[in-house]
Structure 1
Amino acid sequence: MSTPGPDENPLVEGLERLPVHPTSLVIFGGLGDLAKRKLLPALYNLAHEGALPERFHLVGTSRSEMTDEEFRKEAAEAIREHSRREPDETVLEALLADVRWVAGTFDSASVYEGIAKVLGEFDEGAGALTLNRAFYLSTAPDFFPVIVEQLGAHGLHELPDEGEVRIIIEKPFGTTLASAIDLNQKVLSVFSEQQVFRIDHYLGKETVQNMLAFRFANRMFEPVWNRDHIQSVQITASEDIGIGSRAGYYDQAGALRDLVQNHMMQLLCLLCMEPPIDLGADEVRNEKVKVLKAIRPPAPDEVDQMAVRAQYAKGSAGGEDVPGYLDEADVPADSNTETYAALRLHVQNWRWAGVPFYLRTGKRLARKVTEIAVTLKPVPHVAFGGSDPAHPTTLMPNQLVLTMQPNEGVSLSLGAKIPGTRMRIRPVQMDFQYGTAFVSQSPEAYERLIMDAMRGDATLFTRNDEAEAQWRIMDPIVSTWEETPGPLPQYEAGSQGPAEAASLLRDVDTWRRI
């Protein structure tokens, strides 16, 4: 029996090599903000790299009345403005040569009749070749059940032959546990779970996917990846900007729904999950669900002890004075929506019992950063510095930091001797940076996710029980906060966040500086 080579590891082989079947992609909200900034540029970059199937067709739809040619021009302009690379006009022209536009409201039968007609024309042009279909719901969440119902009513949820139909649903997937369950029931009454791809763009980021490689491709970390060696974990997703023009959405969502319930809980799952048998979708998602089930939802009277919320007040950002949240355009003067949320969670299983997981996110903080900091327990005995009372030695615990943005990489702090005649120790950093380690530019998250959806690989997408399990943890916090009157604690824009967040920490823990 031969030993698998470096490219034959059973953990990673298979899914990366799945072919991309010829596909017709329909984007609902085809010229919305997400489509212009992310989806259309992602499609271009996939085309540039030769990753799209030879037969690929694009259809856009929304209420805007326009011709196919007008859609082609607007899509091209969006790609030129937002693509991560300067577009090659030959590639761009080939990608958009046969795009189609279907106008109308999402509850109108004429829209789905128009989509069916266009897809039928593409199928006829393919001859004996069967085209898969993918429907991307890049719309306001209120339209998700409407579109799903209409797709089912017009028979667009299935194909009579061997082709496959998939539906890609953007976040937020529900705003409460009850709404998430209701949406799941409506979606699964039309589509099977295997057809549904609930997207969380964080999982498409290279640095997030690298967590799987970091944990399961390096033997050195497994012996310390448990409660015996890890003191605490901090997951931070901070932003230095305010809400901008998103008041209509953000004041209904808040920091907890916007980032913690989905993105940050996914990071927590990847950090804590047990090694899967392989990287198949069900195996990975089974392990993530186990983590979520090990986190006990708080009782209403426990929320104040494990969760903190606040709003940013006026302050300084980038050297300029900026208004507080309540002074932003279109924000109600009495709003109780949090722009900062911090939690302390516990994963109650054999590996992690007793280890606190601190999650925090906020707008208008000191800087933009998304990172996971794993702090190891201190050494059990300090042998350095004891003979010289004038120069005591305080050893900082080793800390492993995985940074998703802005400077993607991994950093490990170690204690090292300072050059000189005395034994003095200080922390030093061992850094791995994506930008210097790999010459190639990292693809955007949506490039990977769109390809995986067309492949039928759901590893980086959220399963129905996973989405509901996340909401079961967050729902008591959402409910308690909605029932608790304001005003909320304030923190100065450009600061480290509210002082109240310190109440979540154990005596041995401190928040990392943002």
Structure 2
Amino acid sequence: MINRLVILGATGDLSARFLLPALVALRSAGNLGDGFRLTGASREDWDGARYREWVTAQIERHGGHYPADTKAAVADAADYRRADVTNPAHVAAVVAGDDPVAVYLALPPALFPVVVTALHEAGLPPGSRVVLEKPFGANLSDARELNRLLAELVPEQAVFRVDHFLAMTTVQNVLGSRLANRVLEPLWNSTHIAEVDIVWDETLALEGRAGYYDTVGALKDMVQNHLLQLLCLVAMEPPITLGERDLRDRKVDVLRSVRLLTEDDVLRCTRRARYLAGRIGDRDIPAYADEEGVDPDRRMETYAEVELELDSWRWSGTTFRLRTGKALRANRKEVAVRFRSVPHLPFGHSGEAHPNVLRFGLEPEDLTFDLTGIGAHTDTLAPLSLTARMEPPHLPAYGRLLLDVLNGDPALSIRGDEAEEAWRVLTPVLTAWEKDLVPLEEYPAGSDGPTPAW
């Protein structure tokens, strides 16, 4: 296990809200010992004492209800180096040492190529690992070039292209529900499943993230990585094991089977939109184009829909729909598996059968099965829902990911060819949207999005 973590971009939002609380959770669970060391590097003119003060404040704000000594242990393990992370000499000073180190690039993705190049020139101790957040590149050619640079730095198994969705309890439960229950797996194909909706709708608006979001947009921020990863877990063939090779091979198979959209398909099967001014609860939300830091001429989308089909024996004839949107009326974060209707109802005129839908809730984490049963009057049909609430996870998603990084288990990270295949799937959409072939619709903040929506 690696006992030294370096965070480049250590004073940013990612560190404060996710990485530091994850380290507290790992310490509380007994996964980090007294020998663990954290080095933060950023441009701020701080010393170690100032950084530890900041770490302590962020842990108190975001770190959860853990014992005070646990939180203090993480803060006490922290040190700081002022550095330009694009400067090889500065980077070399940060990573210097004989022991292997895990280097986490908590940075804007646009900086990844130059920082990886700086790491290569600086040199890493043998056995070190590199962690990158999504999105991995800005397009297919970017991803290929970044993969080439990483291959010159460390072996592929030492590269962790992390997506915290893969460590969420309910996402893991998609595999558990499929592969550990005889009642489901025989039905898990196009003969029985008509549609799969993979949805991440949120009431959150831009929330001060214009510097990142206005250069990326909904399609790259959510669909290209998070939602395609969920597609892989839903549609993959059963792997022999859940080891990194078997699991990631099957995910790549899914992406390779996605039928590429033609230009006409993009016009018919995709939508994009951005929010106007509106109200969500007690909050007045300005129009996206008026948010601070937004360049309205970029015409960046805050809502994206993509409809895909898979050319495979199991899934030919099933529609997979991926959708995400910001500043919507309600949060809807789920994978909804919609089964086909039964071929015959022997109930006369007692009503219609309600569609069977298996819903994997992502936030909150629960499992719901919508069925049809007999109503209060025995001659009528009525909807019936069975709901199971997931047990709280032992570790938060980022805690699980960091533990895998430190232990050297890449099963839940994204392999290089997988990252490239994900970009291949969406390249026709990106190309058509950049040409403005698909209109940029608008919807009021606090609404259900552009209508009609599925």
Match of 1:211 among 169, 174, 199: 174
CA distance in 2, matches of 1:415, 1:487: 39
Match of 2:372 among 375, 395, 415: 415
Secondary structure of residue in 1 paired with 2:184: helix
Q: Which residue of 1 aligns with 2:12?
A: 32
Match of 2:403 among 451, 459, 465: 451
CA distance in 1, matches of 2:367, 2:71: 36
Secondary structure of residue in 2 paired with 1:189: helix
Q: Which residue of 2 aligns with 1:360?
A: 323
Are the counterparts in 2 of residues 336 and 487 from structure 1 also a CA contact under 8 Å?
Answer: no
User: Shift in Å at residue 92 of structure 1?
Assistant: 2.7
Identify if the C-alpha distance between structure 1 residues 366 and 98 changes in structure 2 by more than 3 Å, giving closer, same or farther: closer
Are the counterparts in 2 of residues 238 and 363 from structure 1 also a CA contact under 8 Å?
Answer: yes
Identity of aligned residues (%): 39
Query: Quick check: which has more Rg, 1 or 2?
Result: 1
Residues 25-424 of structure 1 correspond to what in structure 2 (within 5 A)?
A: 25-85=5-65, 87-117=66-96, 119-120=97-98, 131-156=99-124, 158-159=125-126, 164-386=127-349, 392-405=350-363, 407-420=364-377, 422-424=378-380
CA distance in 1, matches of 2:182, 2:10: 45
Are the counterparts in 1 of residues 92 and 119 from structure 2 also a CA contact under 8 Å?
Answer: no
Identify if the C-alpha distance between structure 1 residues 288 and 80 changes in structure 2 by more than 3 Å, giving closer, same or farther: same
Paired letter, 1:408: E
Are the counterparts in 2 of residues 377 and 398 from structure 1 also a CA contact under 8 Å?
Answer: yes
Stretches of structure 2 lacking an aligned partner (at least 5 in a row): none
> 2:3 matched to 1:23?
yes
CA distance in 2, matches of 1:71, 1:271: 42
CA distance in 2, matches of 1:108, 1:365: 42
Query: Residue by residue, what CA displacement relative to the aligned partner does 1:220-245 show, whole Å, maximum 9, x if unpaired?
Result: 10111011111111111001121121
Query: Residue by residue, what CA displacement relative to the aligned partner does 1:155-198 show, whole Å, maximum 9, x if unpaired?
Result: 21x42xxxx21111111111111111111111112221011000
Identify if the C-alpha distance between structure 1 residues 223 and 109 changes in structure 2 by more than 3 Å, giving closer, same or farther: closer
Identify if the C-alpha distance between structure 1 residues 138 and 228 changes in structure 2 by more than 3 Å, giving closer, same or farther: same
Identify if the C-alpha distance between structure 1 residues 35 and 307 changes in structure 2 by more than 3 Å, giving closer, same or farther: same
CA distance in 2, matches of 1:70, 1:314: 40
> 2:428 matched to 1:476?
yes
CA distance in 2, matches of 1:64, 1:55: 26
Secondary structure of residue in 1 paired with 2:230: helix
CA distance in 1, matches of 2:94, 2:205: 39
User: Shift in Å at residue 323 of structure 1?
Assistant: 2.3
Paired letter, 1:490: E
CA distance in 1, matches of 2:109, 2:33: 30
Choose 362-371 or 325-334, whichever is displaced more: 325-334
Secondary structure of residue in 2 paired with 1:100: strand
Secondary structure of residue in 2 paired with 1:371: strand
Identify if the C-alpha distance between structure 1 residues 254 and 113 changes in structure 2 by more than 3 Å, giving closer, same or farther: closer
User: Shift in Å at residue 74 of structure 1?
Assistant: 1.0
Identify if the C-alpha distance between structure 1 residues 416 and 459 changes in structure 2 by more than 3 Å, giving closer, same or farther: same
Superposed CA RMSD in Å reads: 1.7
Paired letter, 2:401: L
Query: Residue by residue, what CA displacement relative to the aligned partner does 1:62-106 show, whole Å, maximum 9, x if unpaired?
Result: 111211111111111111110122x42322333333422111211
User: Shift in Å at residue 296 of structure 1?
Assistant: 1.8
Q: Which residue of 2 aligns with 1:127?
A: none
Secondary structure of residue in 1 paired with 2:324: strand
CA distance in 1, matches of 2:413, 2:57: 30
Query: Residue by residue, what CA displacement relative to the aligned partner does 1:9-45 show, whole Å, maximum 9, x if unpaired?
Result: xxxxxxxxxxxx2421111011111011110111011
Query: Residue by residue, what CA displacement relative to the aligned partner does 1:336-386 show, whole Å, maximum 9, x if unpaired?
Result: 211111111001100000101111110111212210111111111111134
Paired letter, 2:49: E
Match of 1:488 among 425, 429, 440: 440
CA distance in 1, matches of 2:440, 2:381: 43
Paired letter, 1:383: P
Q: Following superposition, which runs of at least 4 residues in structure 1 exceed 6 angstroms of deviation? A: none
Are the counterparts in 1 of residues 267 and 437 from structure 2 also a CA contact under 8 Å?
Answer: no
CA distance in 1, matches of 2:32, 2:77: 15
Across the two proteins, how many residue pairs are aligned to each other?
454
CA distance in 2, matches of 1:116, 1:244: 33
Q: Which residue of 2 aligns with 1:123?
A: none
Paired letter, 2:432: T
Are the counterparts in 1 of residues 190 and 316 from structure 2 also a CA contact under 8 Å?
Answer: yes
Identify if the C-alpha distance between structure 1 residues 486 and 474 changes in structure 2 by more than 3 Å, giving closer, same or farther: closer
User: Shift in Å at residue 486 of structure 1?
Assistant: 8.2
CA distance in 2, matches of 1:473, 1:214: 27
CA distance in 2, matches of 1:171, 1:361: 16
CA distance in 1, matches of 2:108, 2:178: 36
Match of 1:425 among 378, 381, 389: 381
Paired letter, 2:152: S
CA distance in 1, matches of 2:109, 2:2: 28
Identify if the C-alpha distance between structure 1 residues 360 and 24 changes in structure 2 by more than 3 Å, giving closer, same or farther: same
Q: Which residue of 2 aligns with 1:9?
A: none
CA distance in 2, matches of 1:314, 1:172: 28
Paired letter, 1:331: V
